[in-house]
Amino acid sequence: MKPLSRIAFVINTGKSGAPELAADLLQIAEKEGVTTLVNAQFPLANGYLKGCDACCVIGGDGTLLGVAAEAAREQVPIIGVNRGSLGFLTTYSAEEARQHFKGILAGSYRLAYRSLLTCSAGCECSEYALNDVVVKDEVNSRLVRLEVFAGDELVTQYVCDGLIFSTPTGSTAYNLSAGGPLIHPEADVIAMTPICPHTLSNRSIIFRPDVRLRVFNRTPRAKVQVSVDGQRTVVPCTDGPLEIGLCAGRLPLIQRADYSHFSVVRTKLGWSGAMNAQTGADI
């Protein structure tokens, strides 16, 4: 792959060991003659990553989500180094980052492209979501009535605590906690999962990639809150729908050449159990 000659570092200084790890990686970059930018603030401003070959995010998945929109706009790949807890997106450990960083700078990595949602609320500009778009009551204290259309076709009217619209990447986040499906990150789909639906038969729905979803608030005398990746809030117009679809562009992520999605899932979710190859019995 392409060698990296100009890298932005985004460091969550509130994470244990993040500043020290950043110092080590910056030292490696400087020895290799790489130009660096350093920032401890996120989300990033528009244009911050312009001209960069990559962005090294040192923190947790939340830190990476704060960088994703700008990285997607500029098509700058992200190197995610985990100093948080779960770390589905920040796939390099501190030890792996120190061990492999020189090789990454030289082009020893692979690129994975993750789909993004676009979300617009009538009078507001579009927002990118790497994980999800969540629609809830403004004060999170009562049921909402939300009517969903797929294109011009009515899906149904939900009475629930809210709706989660998730990318495959976000399927391991809020969607999973709400009972939604795990989706392979290379699948081009949108998952819609109701939160505590009043009708027990309401379950997740998987939509094709070219669908345009529209959500209407049918709750009398109530406002809804729309959150993007749990970090940004969109204020919907009172007389128009929330529109959600897959973005034409994707977010590039830098991963190890031997990266395995299911290995990460097994590790992060604590899956266990093995089968005897001869008998098929549990070990």
By annotation, the residues acting in catalysis are: 61
Angle formed at CA 66 by CA 95 and CA 110, multiple of 5 degrees: 50
Using alpha carbons only, give the angle 167, 193, 44 rounded to the nearest 5 degrees.
40
Tokens of 239: 């007389």
Cα separation, 215 vs 119, in Å, equals 11
CA-CA distance, 128 to 238, in Å (whole number)? Answer: 21
C-beta of residue 207 within 8 angstroms of C-beta of residue 233: no
d(CA 27, CA 16) in angstroms, rounded, equals: 19
- Can you give the length of the chain in residues? 283
Distance CA 194, CA 179 (A): 9
Alpha helices per DSSP H over the chain = 18-31, 61-74, 94-106, 174-177, 261-269
CA distance 5 to 105: 7
Tokens read off for 275? 């089968």
Please report the DSSP string for 223-279 in residue order.
Answer: -EEEEETTTEEE---TTS-EEEEEEEEEEEEEE-TT--HHHHHHHHHT----B-TTT
Q: Give CA 142 to chain center in angstroms.
A: 27
